[in-house]
Amino acid sequence: MFLSYSIRGSLLLALAAAWNTDVHNQIGFMAETFLDPYTTSVLEHILEPQYNRSIGRAAAWADGYAHTDEGRFSYQWHWIDSHDFPPYRCDLNYTRDCAKGGCVVSAIANQTQILKGCIDHVKSGSLTGGANLTCSYALKWISHFLGDIAQPLHASGRAAGGNFFKVTFGNVSTELHAVWDGYIPYAAANVTEPFSNHSIAPFFAGLVSRIRKDQFYEAPYMWLECSNPDTPIECATRWARESNKWTCDYVYSRVDNATDLAKDGYAVGAVPIVELQISKAALRLATWLNKLVRTDVYAPEEQIEL
């Protein structure tokens, strides 16, 4: 496999954090294709009007908010720093590794609880038009954090999630974290400009098709073995451990900071992992939201129709 993309054209795209913002948008758009119509009709009353009833358009909000004075408290909610040392030892423990101010696992759990109440308010008719900011924020955080937790370096404490691990990609000095956030997704999609923040892009539509056709080496139903919003700590910890495992199985075991990762085969091998993790995030997000809304339809671990 040869990645025929423009390195120079994608340089500036890999400078954002936590899957690049447009990748977060696309995970949201992917998830929308798996939402029940009723789920969509409920969620549209939770989001603020500027998002045009779309979790895809809202999914990147949390990154920008975390860098404001008002939202800086939420900055550390985007990851969980494992106390291990990949590739020699991978070990993520929620009790040990979730920081005092919170982490991505606790944030998913806390915002899920808030969103449950918000959904009840919509069903009772007491919440419409995105009038409750606490509720809108909860939905936006969940839409974002289920993406974050699927990025392997958001479940690793080594070198601050790879931010202090210097590498070269396409003749440019960068950090390993940026490589996984943006460089590799752009390489996989063969693009030289950001993905749309208004609609699903062809590459991600292709991932949706692959999910529906069961064209991953892991069957999509396996991704949903823990998908019960009533046990959010358990499920989010499980997802984080999956991501953490990749830091031993590939992220750090294959990296060589003396070579160019775009040219030495590293990026080629990383593409299937990124495609898998993005697809997991999208299907899990949709399943989580469907189960939160349709408590009358889904048993706790019932399979969602693809």
Query: What confidence tens digit (pLDDT) does each residue in 152-199 have?
Result: 999 999 999 999 999 999 999 999 999 999 999 999 999 988 999 999
Q: Which residue is listed with tokens 């990154």?
A: 63
Q: What's the average model confidence in pLDDT over 19-26? A: 95
**According to the model, what pLDDT value does residue 301 have?**
53
> What is the distance of C-alpha 122 from the center of its chain?
26
Cβ contact 44:302 at 8 Å? no
Q: Is the pLDDT of residue 225 over 90?
A: yes
The closest of 189, 96, 108 to 149, measured between CA atoms, is 108
Q: Is the pLDDT of residue 8 over 90?
A: no
Q: Is the pLDDT of residue 298 over 90?
A: no
Average pLDDT, the chain: 92
Reported confidence tier of residue 19, pLDDT bands at 50, 70, 90: confident
**Dist. CA 146–CA 151, nearest whole Å:** 9
Cβ contact 218:242 at 8 Å? no
Helix (H, G, I), strand (E, B) or coil at 166: strand
What contacts 24+ positions apart, CB below 8 Å, involve 113-116?
113/232, 114/138, 115/46, 115/139, 115/142, 115/292, 116/229, 116/292
Helix (H, G, I), strand (E, B) or coil at 262: coil
Query: What confidence tens digit (pLDDT) does each residue in 67-86 have?
Result: 999 999 999 999 999 999 99
Label residues 35-55 b or e (16+ Cβ within 10 Å = b): bbeebbebbbbbbbeebebbb
Query: What confidence tens digit (pLDDT) does each residue in 103-161 have?
Result: 999 999 999 999 999 999 999 999 999 999 999 999 999 999 999 999 999 999 999 99
Domains, the chain: 7-293 (1.10.575.10)
pTM of the model: 0.92
Q: Spell out where the chain has E strands.
A: 166-169, 172-175
